[in-house]
Amino acid sequence: MSVRPYRDIYRRKSRQIMVGNVPVGGDAPITVQTMTNTLTSDAQATIRQIKAVEEAGADIVRVSCPDVESTAALKTIIDNVSIPVVADIHFHYKRGIEAALAGAACLRINPGNIGSAEKVREVVKAAKDNGCSMRIGVNAGSLEKHLLEKYGEPCPEAMVESGLEHARILEDNDFFDFKISVKASDVFLAAAAYHGLAEACDYPLHLGITEAGGIRTGTIKSAMGIGSLLWAGIGDTIRVSLSADPVEEVKVGFDILKTLGLRHRGVNVISCPSCARQQFNVIKTVEVLEERLAHITTPMSVSVIGCVVNGPGEARETDIGFTGGGKGTHQVYVSGLPDHRLKDDNIVDHLVGLVEKKAAEIQAEIDAEKAKPNAADAAE
């Protein structure tokens, strides 16, 4: 395959922290997060939701801990899920200590908002003693009063200053295992703040467009904001904020990473919008196909094109290709090459079978490559 430098993304160099057993920053893969919307005090409901986002591929999950009932349920939740749990403790320092003791992998906390220096020291000690990292979370809608008075309104400079002020508090307590976010619902404001923060520090950055909206509008806002930052090399972990099921947040997050070639999970379906040239019902075929292929986690690509104008060209670049042909007979491609022809009957069933077979082959190759000893191992 030819070299395509226009696709290169050069990630900002950041230090690396651990969120449980998941590395964030440095050269680690960009992680996808979400947040539960169940009552954390209802441990079983929260566990069910976390297992659902685990299945969707989430690397990290955040739960809200506004009260003692929530932190009391935290250990049960953590003991019954596989991915690291971040405790969002709001403003109460005792919730942070309780969450750290319960096994939270990370605390979402703004140290300047929890009271005295002594309270900050107690939370930091609990985090250190229990291997717990932190996230400083700046939000344009809740900037500190002195910054609003200084700048007159939420602006990138105020958000960056807020993040750095909180960071200094942790640094003064000899704590450096944290990441920072500077979120806003305004895409331009958020992007400018992240660019400013990326230049001002080397801490890993958690990206998000907060309160982005429902599935359609929220996905578009998040793709524009998060996507533009990732394209610029900024960002180490992402959360898509949607007024929707958290599983949808995870799916959109992976789609953003997949589109930029930063991380691949599951089947990337390339399909045409359909037109009068289509030789089969493209829209319905793709709708059903995406649903039927949702269980595949192996990274691969499938093209579904309604006619021969663009079909063969797209098929050359995908693992499985399907192009509409005349008289109800269509062309199937495997690994970019014409393989066989197919009648209208059972298009979806046939393609699902082909994709599952190809996915198994690709996964076997991936597993075999992983099993090879690296140079360091071989030297030993």
Could you tell me the CATH number of the domain that includes residue 295? Answer: 3.30.413.10
Binding residues: 272, 275, 307, 314
Mean pLDDT (whole number) for 29-36: 98
pTM of the predicted model as reported, rounded to 2 decimal places: 0.90
Average pLDDT rounded to a whole number, residues 1-30: 89
Q: Do 275 and 200 share a domain, yes or no?
A: no
CA-CA-CA-CA dihedral for 75, 81, 85, 88, to nearest 10: -60
Residue with tokens 């007159």: 152
The answer to whether residues 89 and 193 belong to one domain is yes
Predicted confidence at residue 345, as pLDDT, reads 79
Residues 158 and 233 grouped into a single domain: yes
Shortest CA distance to 208 belongs to which of 111, 142, 138?
138
> Is 1 a member of any domain?
no
Look at residue 115 and tell me if it is in a domain. Answer: yes
User: Does residue 380 belong to any structural domain of this protein?
Assistant: no
Residues 247 and 285 in one domain: no
Residues annotated within the binding site for [4Fe-4S] cluster are 272, 275, 307, 314
SS (H, E, C) 183-217: ECCCHHHHHHHHHHHHHHCCCCEEECCCCCCCHHH
Q: How far apart are CA 113 and CA 117, in angstroms?
A: 10
Burial of residue 269 (CB within 10 Å: 0-12, 13-18, 19+) is: middle
Nearest to 203 by CA among 155, 167, 240: 167
Task: State whether 63 and 176 are in the same domain.
Answer: yes
Is residue 2 very low, low, confident or very high in pLDDT (cuts 50, 70, 90)?
A: low
The torsion defined by the Cα of 224, 230, 233 and 237, in degrees rounded to 10, comes to 140
Higher-scoring residue by pLDDT: 346, 313:
313
Mean pLDDT of the chain: 94
Confidence class for position 202, pLDDT limits 50, 70, 90: very high
Task: Give domain status of residue 51, yes or no.
Answer: yes
Q: How many residues can be counted in the chain?
A: 380
Q: pLDDT exceeding 90 applies to what percent of the chain? A: 90
Confidence of residue 266 (pLDDT cuts 50, 70, 90): very high
Structural domain span for residue 88: 11-259
What pLDDT, on the 0 to 100 scale, is given for residue 1?
44
Final residue before a domain boundary, out of 259, 286, 301: 259
Q: 379: pLDDT confidence band, cut at 50, 70 and 90? A: low
Query: What DSSP character marks residue 30?
Result: P
Q: Does a structural domain hold residue 4? A: no
* pLDDT of 380 higher than 80: no
The answer on 122 and 72 residing in a single domain is yes
Task: Among 259, 288, 320, give the residue marking a domain's end.
Answer: 259
Boundary residue ending a domain (212, 239, 259): 259
Number of structural domains, the chain? 2
Residue 377 has pLDDT above 70, yes or no: no
In a domain, 90, yes or no: yes
Q: Comparing C-alpha atoms, which of 160, 163, 204, 211 is closest to residue 187?
A: 211
Are 327 and 361 contained in the same domain?
yes
- Give the CATH number for residue 101: 3.20.20.20
Same domain, residue pair 91 and 18: yes
pLDDT at 90: 81
Residue 379 located in a structural domain: no
| In a shared domain, residues 281 and 150 | no
249 with 318, same domain?
Answer: no
Average pLDDT over residues 370-380: 66
Within a domain: 186: yes
Same domain, 90 and 171: yes
pLDDT tens by residue, 119-157? 999 999 999 999 999 999 999 999 999 999 999 999 999
Residues 273 and 238 in one domain: no
